Structure 1
Amino acid sequence: MVDPRPGQGLRVPDVESEMRSIGEMARDSGLGVSALRFYDRAGVLVPARVDPASGYRWYAPEQLDEARVLARLRRAGMPLADIRLVLAGWSGADPALVRRLLQAHLRRLEAGLTEARIEFSTLRALLDHRENPMTASPRTDTVRLSLGSTELAGAIDAVRFAVGKDPELPMLGGVLFDVDGDTLHVVATDRYRMAVARMASGSDPASASASDPASAGHGGPREQVVVPAPLVDAMRALLGGDEPAGFAVETDRVTLDAGERQVSGQRLAHDFPDYRRLVQLPAGRRVVVDVPALREALETGPVRTAEAGEPGPSARDVSVLATTDDGTVTVVGDGDADGNSVGVDRGFLLDALAAADRDRLVLEFGAAPTAPLAIRRTDDEGTFSLLMPVRLDH
């Protein structure tokens, strides 16, 4: 545009002021910054302008509508090839094609849902058969243990952060006490993270009385008891002294004695997932990290926002971890991530570092970025946590 007023010269319009930055487009469209970069590289939603010096992307006002359509199609799980065609016809060039594509995808979703219902019905029948076999072995519902108060407090602290809160999965709303011989495993998971602590179930044999020698350990078959989170918190409040703690299960009731104090409540009437299968992971890259330094890097380093449709809670910050050639773990931005980088929920990782309660820990990266990240103590391999990664390809 030329300013006709004499003496004013030419006025060049500020093109960028009329456009949306990639951050503004992400905020207004529902697509994350990394998703917009992905769809740019895929040629699906190409920015109207890219700064030749900085590479920064700018979007025209009319592209916001396309981005919002793209976000909806993505949430509906439409394949990328179909999304490309829908956007090509969205402007009005071929609305009939858009309708056919939407209807075809809806039919695929309905067919997939029908197949899923059939498979789930079969799985439920198989589960009913497993839970009610023709010859069920009797279950022992009495457990009595004498445990070190400090050790049990530490085990609870190591796993409590991973207890689930989903009302649709009540079996994850507590802590599993898995007694097997002389070993007690304390376990919690919310699907996206799992924490396991191991301790000796007869850690204070001196506390066993002559009339009840079994109180120093569990001599019966393996027993698993899921203790609801509120009762776990009440138990933890009693622990930490020098006196031993008495843990007992009588049918459906759980009791903890610590000195002259006692807390009791109902166990959860649900079976816990077989966590032993979930923690059997192939060996990965193990890196010893300085926890205070890593915590500072997580709190001050770059983050990205979890995308809609990614597994895990919504509205969460994701940190991208990379390892250097010398074994150092760094927190990097999207532009510095490579095929070996791992995205994790930043809050989850900070919780896991705090629960591990060590200044030095081992981070074990899986063979692929989709494998869980393990956080292990250097002095106790039996106490660890696993975090499910967040996809970085969108």
Structure 2
Amino acid sequence: MARASGLGVSALRFYDRAGVLVPDQVDPVTGYRWYAPEQLGEARVLSRLRRAGMPLADVRLVLAGWTAADTDLVRGLLRAHLRRLEEGLSAARAEFSALVDLLDDREYPLMTTPRTAARLSVSGPGLAAALDAVRFAAGTDPELPVLAGVHLDAEGDTLHAVATDRYRMAVARTAAGGHGGGGRVQATVPLPLADAMRALLDGADEVRLVVDDGRVTLEAGDRQTGGRCLEQDFPDYRRLVRLPAGRRAEVDVAAFTEAVRTGPVRLHEDGGTGYELTVLEVTEDGRAVPVPEGADGQDLVAVNRAFLLDALAAAGGDRLVLEFGAPTAPLVLRRPDDEHTFSLLMPVRLTD
């Protein structure tokens, strides 16, 4: 069904749970979904609507009226969605044109990545732990190649590792010595090179990190790996982590992970892509718990469940502190013993 319709298996599961395209039969033992031949046409329509980014509520109505004798409703819904897309594109073009003009007029760049030569002495286990803590958050969007890497930022006796895909960000810190000149040195390491560096760190007590003329090299004893840095400027992550104080809840990582993994979820549709949300609240006794659909409250925070599980797995340690701001502020996962190693998850707006 997935191959014939153009809908992936995960999409078929999503639309089954959402009640949009329910299989003809479900195996009671394996859960395998079986679709009737006449459902293929409906699935192909759904696939096209999904690629066009039609909201789920409208998709339901289109499919409900697709085979009806009177197609006025369907045609009206299609025209209305096309009009929204055209209006949105026109508005977006105007805003992007204004932004390009601002960039052209700007005298100094907002973000710079100095290529100052530097040799850093870094703890092998410390750098390994930092890479492990941030790797999950790196981007894979080909339109944003600078995010497909781990950003290394050395200043004074500290080295930060940072990764983000826009929807989540992870920051870790480790000590670094031997930085000549005392200035700030930055390099964004492509993911394949970051993974090669991580493999080289196993068993290495101390390593040397060399940044020179747009190239980064990791030396561990008589072994080394290196390559070119990404040329684009990495976002100024320091501005993105200045968050107001909020409610805090300390959690047992293993127990909280199991609660998220097996707990209630909400289905979310975003631009034709469906995924599962975990909605969290802080109880009066200071516990962070997933809440079921229908739960009410002004302080509920919804995040992508898969992203939350990734962040919990990468955090390390037995306990974490969750920091909740407003429902529109990122959820912060922070180690109790190291406030400088943390991850941020962008919230998802809950709609009726």
Tell me the TM-score normalized by structure 1. Answer: 0.69
Q: Out of 227, 250, 267, which is 1:305 matched to?
A: 267
Aligned-partner residue type, residue 124 of structure 1: V
1:124 is aligned, of 70, 75, 100, to: 100
Asked if the contact 1:31–1:307 (Cα under 8 Å) also holds between the matched residues in 2, the reply is: no
Q: 1:322 aligns with which of 281, 284, 295?
A: 281
Residue 176 (structure 2) aligned to one of 165, 190, 201: 201
Is 1:262 aligned to 2:224, yes or no? Answer: yes
Q: What pairs up with 1:275-294 in 2 under 5 angstroms?
A: 275-294=237-256
SS at match of 1:336: coil
Separation (CA, whole Å) in 1 of partners of 2:14 and 2:318: 42
Contact 1:317 1:347 in 2 (8 A): yes
Cα 1:146–1:33 shift into 2, 3 Å: same
Partner of 2:34: none
What amino acid does structure 2 have at the position aligned with 1:185? H
C-alpha contact 2:113 2:185 (8 A) present in aligned 1: no
The whole-number CA distance in structure 2 between the counterparts of 1:218 and 1:249 is 11
Deviation of 1:143 after TM superposition, in Å, equals 2.1
| Deviation sequence 1:234-254 (CA, Å, 0-9, x none) | 111111435321111121211
Task: Indicate which of 350, 355, 365 corresponds to 2:314.
Answer: 355
Q: State the match for 1:150 in structure 2.
A: 125
Q: Which amino acid aligns with 1:374?
A: V
Q: Percent identical across equivalent pairs? A: 56
2: CA distance, partners of 1:116 / 1:387: 25
CA deviations 1:234-290 (Å, max 9, x no partner) are 111111435321111121211000111111111111111111121111111110111
Q: Distance in 1 between matches of 2:97 and 2:146?
A: 20
- What residue is the counterpart of 1:366 in the other structure? 325
Q: How does 1:183-262 map to 2 (within 5 A)?
A: 183-202=158-177, 216-241=178-203, 243-262=205-224
Please say if 1:175 is aligned against 2:133: no
Alignment CA distance shift 1:34-1:392 (3 Å): farther
Displacement after TM superposition at 1:113 (Å) = 1.6
Shift of 1:99: 5.3
Q: Distance in 1 between the 2:151 and 2:258 partners?
A: 32
When residues 343 and 300 of structure 1 are mapped into structure 2, their CA distance, relative to the original with a 3 A threshold, is same
| 1:344 match | 303
Query: Residue 322 of structure 1 contacts residue 337 of structure 1 at CA under 8 Å; is this kept in 2?
Result: no
CA distance in structure 1 between the aligned counterparts of 2:228 and 2:188, rounded to whole angstroms = 9
* Counterparts in 2 of 1:32 and 1:328: CA distance versus 1, 3 Å: same
CA contact (8 A) 2:251 2:288 kept: yes
Higher Rg? 1
1:306 counterpart SS class: strand
Amino acid at match of 1:252: G
- Flag the 1:269–1:94 CA change in 2: closer, same or farther, 3 A: closer
CA distance in 1, matches of 2:202, 2:64: 65
Structure 2 letter corresponding to 1:183: T
Aligned mates of 2:150, 2:245 — CA distance in 1: 27
Q: 1:384 aligns to what SS in structure 2?
A: strand
Preserved contact between residue 248 and residue 256 of structure 1 (Cα < 8 Å): yes
Distance 1:288 1:30, change over 3 A: same
Go from structure 1 to structure 2 and tell me whether the alpha carbon gap of 1:107 and 1:320 turns closer, same or farther (over 3 Å shift): closer
Unaligned runs of 5+ in 2: 1-10, 21-41
Change (3 A) 1:191 1:218: farther
TM-score by length of 2: 0.76
After superposition, the Cα gap between the structure-2 partners of 1:147 and 1:111, relative to the gap in structure 1 and judged at 3 Å, is same
The answer to whether 1:114 aligns with 2:90 is yes
Normalized per residue, which structure has more strand?
A: 2
Q: In structure 2, how many angstroms separate the alpha carbons of the residues matched to 1:175 and 1:293?
A: 30
Q: AA paired with 2:129?
A: G
Distance 1:218 1:156 in 2: 23
Aligned amino acid, residue 229 of structure 1:
L
Structure 1 residue 231: Cα displacement: 0.5
Task: Write the distance in 1 (CA, Å) between the matches of 2:92 and 2:241.
Answer: 27
| Cα distance in 2 for residues equivalent to 1:253 and 1:160 | 20
Question: 1:32 touches 1:307 (CA, 8 Å); kept in 2?
Answer: no
Per-residue deviation, 1:335: 3.0
C-alpha deviations, 1:328-387, integer Å up to 9, x for none?
Answer: 12222213353322222222212211211111110011122x221100010111110001
| Aligned Cα root-mean-square deviation (Å) | 3.7
